[in-house]
Chains A and B, each alone.
Chain A
């Protein structure tokens, strides 16, 4: 069920209606029923229930057993069992082919003719999300951050809360417990605020992301035909497509949750205004970053292996250098995991993992050098123009890495990069060529205006809630903005038969 479909809108209206009509004690039951319908809606298959129980049952029992055996080795054992079962099914459904391809590659190096066939698996919707959420649930119980949920149905709701199944954000049990199972009265201003957020999300997805997608898909779909300026535009548009698609769907999810009285953690804070890639990743998919920091990065840093390695390195290097080396090693492991999480494909591992690590590593190493050079050349870093340069640089580094992320294979990514350097700037001037890749002149105009609006809103959001700022304006201005937003979506949105269905890029992860 697509977040921008009429069916989803109807589904939400019914769910929200029932949620506020029923006895407040059973509001969570409505959410659970809605979540299960959402989970099993798309091509119902009884096997999906088995897949679903395969995660729910071990997590539920392991949670209770960890709590029961707190402070003992058994708790650790139950944690290990729980995590392994979750990771196991995640690996089985999503990463078997990555392993098969890797083995085939290795066999190929040894000129072995034997090839293992890849397998088709159909993972449950949102598997990458709820798997990580359930791991954090078990680890938090183990660490005493939260108590296990005794009611298996409530535990199932935590795992399957429907708005977050397609695109996140990652929730932590202790942060959401009260909201998820609590009693909520209908609140008019919360309803309006939630609705505005949903509309803003729809604008991002339907007007900007889907329009960028038309051009990007056309160019990336035939990188041997389109080259030079076409690829440069596609490479610039893809991060915008990704951002508006992902953050737009998060806005829809957050807006619906806000109406229901459930506060979810923010996932984006104007990432394209970041001056470094490190800062960028603090503002992009924040909850994934937080999850990886707490459940991967810190445990690695604190692990015996890294501690021992630091101690060994200290004998050869200075204390600072040895710490840096182990820090980079931990970062490399974490970024590789991020790449793998995005999908069982090398393009993801390179694009959203290794290249991101490489750029951050270079930023860290070369940052002090650049500062010294700037000082010597008398370049003032505390100016708008310098910050703008840093923002553009960060965007371009991210966009470059995303070429791998978007490409269908590493070979295609390399062809794309090579094709970028073909000289054809005339496509901007001959009034015809630019418009053969799916978007005509009117579409480009709408796209440019929408992106400007997006940047204005993101810029305003850096100094506080835009909705709060809007609510302080006069009613005429406020309503004009809202009508423009609503009719902007209705008229300029890419939906219906004229366009391809709006696919949620992050829904696939």
Chain B
């Protein structure tokens, strides 16, 4: 939606999404500016025209209108409440418009932010696996949160603030120039200085904001290290030194923040000085001109009011403009994400039955960034409904093999078929929905155990969740957790061990509509007995599914219908337990551990104990 545009244009496009609201907000802003200037005019007219008997300076059409309503000068003098009513009316109207402005701006900017967040989120979901493998998560989260927020703030407040300030200057100038050009000049003589001072200051001080933030980050880091290493600190009796260390960074942070505050006191002092001086100049010049009879008291009131109304927006304008560049940078950083291509849609993709044979036909795979093949010329067949086990050394390409089966990556050469259909022609979602893949280090969500197990379904039935947990041998530890299935996992709740996580991951995968099951060393962290237990339960429940298990446990491997030995990206041997156990090679070595154990027990005959 916002791809391949310059940041500025992308921002305009964002604004355009809710142009009705923006227009309304802008109109309301115009109204508030005009109404805001009416009160001083009313006061000035009261003083000059009603109280001092000078002729009115209101435009002729307005006077005519008032006269036709019967509100002549004489009548108003008799009915002074009319002035009060006018003042209240102006205030209330002004208030109404400023409410409309606030509400419309909020609606528009919050909707834009919402759209942008949703776009980002769903885009991130659709980006390919390979992109996520390389992604820097901290930076990404920053872009999705604080960059979006920078943009939102710009759109919510700053755009209209700029419009507002410019409009105020324009209107004030028009009214003031009509009264006295010379007085206008004196009344605004310091305004440019005020504007540039604010702009200059915030440009200058930006560095110090960053320095203070960095000092804070450093302090947090020391604190974090101390708290998470509290055992080490105590065990080595280093409380005193830790305190000194923290004291140093805390003091440093304090000093830098204080320095920043002191700088800001210069800004406020300077800005207020210029503002008050401008008010003083205006008053003094007014006095001189009034004494000479060149202006009226009403004009004095008008000018002093206008000047005081103008000064604040001008100061804000300088500040706003000095950091408006930030929002462009934020937009650019957001676009970086949106410009990354997602997994392509494939409208003609097939949704075949996946219970057939799985065939790897001379499959070679290399990661695009380095081109070094991870899998080379891999060929094997897992017959429908059978179980294959993969024995492979670390770095042999085992995990890549299973990723290929979910189309998380595509083979560089060769092809993979399921029931004779090339994987490339099978719809990704369909494939992934029916191929249950359990990773060695599964990602669990910071939710309750129940929600984690039922995560793939919209409304999982309690019974299915419990059943899946039973099969995965997870019910035991779930029952022991403080709140059972309602125990929250992760940062805000309990930390699970690696084996417990793996079991939850198995349970959640079982709730999918699987036709194929893949275990990527996903029982490695449970003990061998539980491992055997889980596999037995799976054989009963899902024994009819075509299954691929990666493992280094001989009991697991030996029970498979087919064992594949993967070394350095190549299949070096395949066959049944009996066949492979008879041939020298990796499998035979694994298999001989059993014998090794017996030998070891022999070495420790009871005689040795007594010795």
A, B assembled together: no
